[in-house]
Amino acid sequence: MTQTISINDSQRLQLQPLEIPSRLLLGPGPCNAHPAVLQAMNTPPVGHLDPAFLALMDEIQSLLRYAWQTENSLTIAVSGTGSAAMEATIANAVEPGDVVLIGVAGYFGNRLVDMAGRYGADVRTITKPWGQVFSLEELRTALEIHHPAILALVHAETSTGARQPLEGVGELCREFGTLLLLDTVTSLGGVPIFLDAWGVDLAYSCSQKGLGCSPGASPFTMSPRALEKLQKRSTKVANWYLDMNLLGKYWGSERVYHHTAPINLYYGLREALRLIAEEGLANCWQRHQKNVEYLWQGLEEIGLSLHVEREYRLPTLTTVRIPTGVDGKATARQLLTEHGIEIGGGLGELGGQVWRVGLMGFNSRSESVDRLIAALQQVLPKQ
Ligand SMILES: Cc1ncc(COP(=O)(O)O)c(C=O)c1O
């Protein structure tokens, strides 16, 4: 008989119970999950086809429609992080050879470019310096040049802190017979979104930011127009796990087994969405706006400047310029080790130039701002 390899010394050390330091997560996400969400996730799991769980899936769909302001019947949570839901929009909407126009003004625009290319899209881009947004005229010119099947935009560019205005974009897309795909990963729950009124056809998000849950159950929705394109495909969706023809049968009335849903995460997502509905969506957006304005004031009062023009700043994520002579990485490390506060560094082109401060979901509170400003006042002079 094969003998069990005995436990080694380093494994023996790992027998100690899990110990994770307490942190205030004020980076680009995740944020701290709401205590009620953590408690919901602590509920013992039932089976993924249990009638009680199926009822919970229906509730998630309904609450998600409210959070996104849509009536799309195909509105679900993808079992995976925001990138999985992002890939789901591309995998289902793009057929090889489709012209896909992508607005790139930051890191996540580029991720869309990479994904669309992998699904055989004829990718075209329209670009802006990081921190700026596209005007309606610029989008019109690009649509006239490229006549794309899909226009993909990032509503809340987490790498820059800029909010892309959407008014008029849906009408423009209809004029050109183009589907509008929107990344709402850093906006859902914290930034006003009106998917149907804006004419958005495909959207995705995540659970760990404005919704105030843990990562892993990511909102996805598609309009009847996008569904029609899916039904008319001449090729199979090239991703089995994210194929909405299959997932729709698990989330819809047929209830066909597709995969074993991460039950406890779905408990958390349902509670997070319930909390937003209880607070009221408009109140939740207002809370994010009020607290971020308090943050901007606090940062400016201690002599820091912000990267994005005020009109286009996100309520969920602020990019703060690292002053000349200050070591950005060392500052962030000190905030973490001495004050238990996480903030993010710059991503891509803005690496080394900015810090990224998130006030999302449960963390969008004046106490979060007070703690951060007080900590920065201690850390910055040492730099
Ligand atoms: C705008 C945007 N899109 C997509 C993603 C990917 O989400 P995830 O990291 O949950 O996979 C992120 C993550 O921060 C994001 O900020």
pLDDT at position 314, please?
98
The pLDDT assigned to 97 comes to: 98
Using the mean position of ligand 1's atoms as its centre, give its distance from the Cα of residue 382 in Å: 33
User: 176 and 269: one domain?
Assistant: yes
Closest-lying ligand 1 atom to the alpha carbon of residue 208: 10
**Last residue of one domain, picked from the residues 230, 258, 277:** 277
Distance CA 19, CA 51 (A): 36
Q: Which atom of ligand 1 is nearest to the CA of 86?
A: 4
3-state secondary structure of 130: strand
Contacts of residue 343, defined as CB under 8 A and 6 or more positions apart, other chains included, come to 26, 27, 332, 335, 355, 356, 357, 358, 372
Q: Is the CB of 87 under 6 A from ligand 1?
A: no
In a domain, 363, yes or no: yes
168 and 302 fall within a common domain? no
- Residues (pLDDT < 50) of the chain are none
Mark whether 241 and 327 lie in a shared domain: no
Q: For residue 156, which atom of ligand 1 is closest to its CA?
A: 1
Co-location of 340 and 232 in the same domain: no
d(CA 140, ligand 1 centre) in Å: 27
Whether residues 328 and 226 fall in one domain:
no
Place of tokens 């991460």: 262
> Where in the sequence is the domain holding 68, given as residue range(s)?
35-277
Report the separation in Å between the CA atom of 185 and the middle of ligand 1, taken as the mean of its atom positions.
6
**Number of residues assigned to the chain:** 383
Same domain membership, residue 47 and residue 165: yes
CATH number of the domain enclosing 190: 3.40.640.10
Ligand 1 contacts CB of residue 185 (under 6 A): yes
Q: Which of 277, 300, 328 is the last residue of a domain?
A: 277
**Could you tell me if residue 64 is inside a domain?**
yes
For residue 1, the CA-to-ligand 1 centroid distance in Å is 48
* Rounded distance from Cα 107 to ligand 1 centre (Å): 10
Looking up residue 376, the CATH number of its domain turns out to be 3.90.1150.10
Q: Ligand 1 within 6 A of 206 CB?
A: yes
Residue 1 lies in a domain: no
Task: Answer whether residue 228 is part of any domain.
Answer: yes
Rounded distance from Cα 153 to ligand 1 centre (Å): 13
CA of 21 to the centre of ligand 1 (A): 24
Is the beta carbon of 101 within 6 A of some atom in ligand 1?
no
Answer yes or no: is 6 within a domain: no
Which pLDDT value is given to residue 11?
83
Residue to probe by mutation, ligand 1, list 186, 188, 265, most atoms within 8 Å of CB: 186
Tell whether ligand 1 has an atom less than 6 A from the beta carbon of residue 154. yes
Q: Do strands 74-79 and 217-222 pair parallel, antiparallel, or not at all (unpaired)? A: antiparallel
Same domain, 358 and 255: no
Q: Is 29 in the pocket of ligand 1 (CB under 6 A)?
A: yes
The answer to the question of residue 19 being in a domain is: no
Does ligand 1 have an atom closer than 6 angstroms to the CB of 95? no
The closest-lying atom of ligand 1 relative to the alpha carbon of residue 106 is 1
| Same domain flag for 190 and 318 | no
Shared domain check, 304 and 244: no
- Residue 261: strand, helix, or coil: coil
Give Cα separations from 68 to 45, 207, 272 (angstroms): 27, 13, 14
d(CA 57, CA 109): 30
Indicate the number of domains in the chain. 2
How do residues 239-289 score in pLDDT, each as one tens digit? 999 999 999 999 999 999 999 999 999 999 999 999 999 999 999 999 999
Packing angle, helices 263-279 and 281-301, rounded to 10: 90
d(CA 221, CA 195): 10
Kindly list the distances between the CA atom of residue 380 and the CA atoms of 299, 323, 374, in Å, as whole numbers in the listed order: 12, 10, 10
pLDDT value of residue 170? 98
pLDDT, residue 12, reads 85
What are 284's two structure tokens? 């939740």
In a domain, 262, yes or no: yes
Last residue of a domain, one of 241, 261, 277: 277
Same domain, 75 and 57: yes
Residue 11, domain member (yes or no): no
pLDDT at 9: 85
Which residue among 25, 31, 108, 193 is best mutated to probe the pocket of ligand 1, counting the most ligand atoms within 8 A of its Cβ? Answer: 108
Residue 215's pLDDT is 98
Atom of ligand 1 nearest to the CA of 218: 10
Cis peptide before 30 (omega within 30 of 0): yes
pLDDT of res. 210:
98
Residue 189 sits in the same domain as residue 335: no
Same domain? For 299 and 171 the reply is: no
Neighbours of 204 (CB within 10 A): 25
| Dist CA 197 CA 76 (whole Å) | 19
Residue 40 near residue 213 (C-beta atoms within 8 A): no
Ligand 1 pocket residue status of 81, Cβ below 6 Å = yes
